[in-house]
Amino acid sequence: METGEQVGVEAVPYCCSDFDGGETPARGLAIRTRKTRSLSTSSATACDYRRNQSLHGPSPVTTFGPKACMLQNPHAVMHIQDPASQRLTWNKPPKSVLVIKKIQDASLLQPFKELCVFLTEKNMIVYVESKVLADTAIAGDESFGAVIQKFCTFREDLDDISNRVDFIICLGGDGTLLYASSLFQESVPPVMAFHLGSLGFLTPFNFDTYQSQVTQIIEGNTAIILRSRLRVRVVKESREKKGIIMTNGDSEGSRKSMQYQVLNEVVVDRGPSSYLSNVDLFLDGHLITTVQGDGVIVSTPTGSTAYAVAAGASMIHPNVPAIMITPICPHSLSFRPIVVPAGVELKIMLSRDARNTAWVSFDGRKRQEICHGDSITITTSCFPVPSICFRDPVNDWFESLSQCLHWNVRKKQNYLSSEEEEF
């Protein structure tokens, strides 16, 4: 870790609170309730909006007819807070922020500098990736040099900042949020994403009023949406090549294992081969089908509006607990995309009679080859990405569908006059 100053920072725990002051603690720490302004009450954002109805469905009746009822299982009791009431608050005032900027994008230089100056003036400790400061347009700006000296820098895959950052600000498109997710393999700090990229489906904030918006995030009590991630474990068989056993990373006997946290999707495809991809798909240990085609996409609800929707899948709201399985150009007209419960465990392996290997990528990164004997295990992670909302989870999502994907946009049908109706 490199710093311009010697700074001791302890990450501030955050929690998810409901509207009546009740709170669900995070990281096992006590919580203090404090009255603060809501982001949704600012004139810079939108009018105050709070649902008076749960986003959960009603609890089902567990008696069926005069004599039947559901067998009670005291070990399977689980409570999930209603997504409509999930709001961010701070146990202690936040002191550190990670600013993620899209690399080599000249249009982001001025917003980045303005934001960093604003944060340092508020006595925030600003973390920035080392390669961001390698940009000559930043490093060579003498007027910005005093601010750079106050930065704490880090390097991806080398420095651990998981317990140093209180919240994250992303400047760019959806890729910056995906990158922020990849930096934290366990608990993720709250993420505030500004729309300064090409698409911006996951970035609800405009930069024009960043000062008031960031200030309200620091004060707390803002709506958040918990975007589920996939926990992926890739196990590879060790292979001999010219008498040398190839084992990179952690090994388990003759195998090596790698784990990833994925926000959008896991994509298994045929790679450069001209043959069909031929992989077996298991659900909770049972073979459910063999995928023959260009590949298969396993996605979160957040990822349903990414590669999956282009492959013909439905779009699912991020608050729906589910995993999507979408084939890519399947060699079967009946192979339609399916949605399975979030708690299942999926496993993907090359079929025994596959003619070629497969390739896998995680949110478009860490692409690697999958051979016979290798396996990819996928389930829902217990570490979601807490994404800060502009208004609330429902309105933000439909606004993104409309503005970014132009969902159901068409020229309206003309009104018929009474004379035309007679024909």
Quick: pLDDT tens for 362-396.
Answer: 999 999 999 999 999 999 999 999 999 999 999 99
How far is residue 314 from each of residues 55, 299, 307, measured CA to CA in Å?
Answer: 19, 11, 11
What is the average pLDDT across 163-178? 93
Q: What's this model's pTM, rounded to 2 decimal places?
A: 0.82
Residue 248 has pLDDT above 70, yes or no: no
Euclidean distance between CA atoms 328 and 291, whole angstroms: 9
Determine the average pLDDT of the residues in 68-84: 71
In the three-class reduction of DSSP (H, G, I as helix; E, B as strand; rest coil), residue 372 is classed as: coil
User: Is-catalytic flag, 174?
Assistant: yes
Contact (CB, 8 A) for 292 and 275: no
Q: How far apart are CA 236 and CA 253, in angstroms?
A: 11
Give the whole-angstrom CA distance, residue 276 versus residue 270. Answer: 7
The residue that leads in pLDDT, 78 or 41, is 78
- Of the candidates 387, 386, 39, 12, the one whose C-alpha atom is nearest the C-alpha of residue 193 is 387
At 401, list the tokens: 């569908």
282 contacts 378 by C-beta, under 8 angstroms? no
pLDDT of amino acid 26 = 43
Q: What's the pLDDT score for residue 362? A: 97
Lowest mean per-residue pLDDT among 178-187, 363-372, 402-411: 402-411
pLDDT above 90 for 356: yes
Strand order in the sheet with 14-17: 2-3, 152-154, 125-129, 96-101, 167-172, 191-195, 385-388, 222-227, 87-90, 14-17, 23-24
| Angstrom distance (rounded) from CA 350 to CA 234 | 13
- Cα→Cα distances 118→5, 111, 190, 302, Å: 18, 11, 19, 31
Catalytic residue among 135, 166, 174, 392: 174
Q: Which of 170, 132, 175 is nearest to 151 (CA)?
A: 132
| Confidence band for 3, pLDDT divided at 50, 70 and 90 | low
Give the lowest-confidence range in 141-150, 163-172, 244-253, 409-418. Answer: 244-253
